């Protein structure tokens, strides 16, 4: 994970390969999407997010990550930013905790405040993000 941490595409691919059949999704603060999700669906959603952010952020996505191990979990704190087509700049700081059981990611907890969620939503919208059917 550390080797791919600052490349959004490679990082997404590494994580997607580690998702268990079902992953418990949690947000802080809680979100309507919290609960179990198929690992394959989560992988598809994360792939689409990475593609949308790449389209939205002119000149590429700037990313810096810090990865730490916390018992049975891996925490990834990242800073994702860049400039949107309208000239506005965004700086999104993520804090995600992946719980690992028997070598697979079985839970994902994303800790983002409302302002950060809104900024990430702006990036995804600008990149044409659509939920898969």
Q: Is 1 within the bounds of a domain? A: no
Q: Is 35 within the bounds of a domain? A: yes
At residue 125, what are phi and psi to the nearest 5 degrees? -60, -45
Per-residue pLDDT tens over the stretch 13-58: 999 999 999 999 999 999 888 999 999 999 999 999 999 999 998 7
Q: Which two tokens stand for residue 96?
A: 């995600």
Three-state SS at 120: helix
Q: Is 60 within the bounds of a domain? A: yes
Average pLDDT, the chain: 92
Average pLDDT over residues 106-116: 94
Q: Is 33 within the bounds of a domain? A: yes
| 34-38-44 Cα angle (round to 5) | 95
In DSSP notation, 62-111 reads EEEEEEEEETTEEEEEEEEEEE-TTS-EEEEEEEEEEEEETTEEEEEEEE
Whole-model pTM over 0.85: yes
% pLDDT > 70, the chain: 98
Q: Is 3 within the bounds of a domain? A: no
CATH number of the domain at 77, please: 3.10.450.50
Model pLDDT, residue 8: 86
Q: Is 131 within the bounds of a domain? A: no
**Could you tell me the pLDDT band of residue 133, with boundaries at 50, 70 and 90?**
low
Model pLDDT, residue 58: 77
Three-state SS at 23: strand
100, 74 Cβ separation under 8 angstroms: yes
Q: Is 111 within the bounds of a domain? A: yes
Range of the domain at 78: 8-126
Q: Is 21 within the bounds of a domain? A: yes
What is the rounded radius of gyration, in angstroms, for the C-alpha atoms of the chain? 14
Q: How many domains does the chain have?
A: 1
């Amino acid at each position: 994970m550390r080797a791919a941490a600052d490349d959004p595409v490679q990082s997404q691919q590494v994580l997607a390969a580690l998702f268990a059949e079902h992953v418990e999704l949690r947000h802080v603060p809680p979100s309507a999407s919290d609960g179990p999700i198929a690992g394959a669906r989560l992988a598809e959603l994360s792939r689409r997010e990475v593609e949308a952010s790449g389209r939205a952020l002119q000149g590429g996505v700037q990313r810096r990550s810090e990865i730490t191990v916390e018992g049975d979990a891996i925490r990834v704190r990242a800073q994702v930013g860049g400039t949107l087509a309208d000239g506005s700049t965004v700086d999104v700081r993520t804090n995600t905790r992946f719980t690992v059981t028997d070598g697979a990611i079985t839970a994902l907890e994303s800790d983002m405040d409302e302002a950060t969620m809104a900024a990430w939503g702006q990036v995804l919208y600008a990149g044409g993000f659509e939920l898969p059917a």
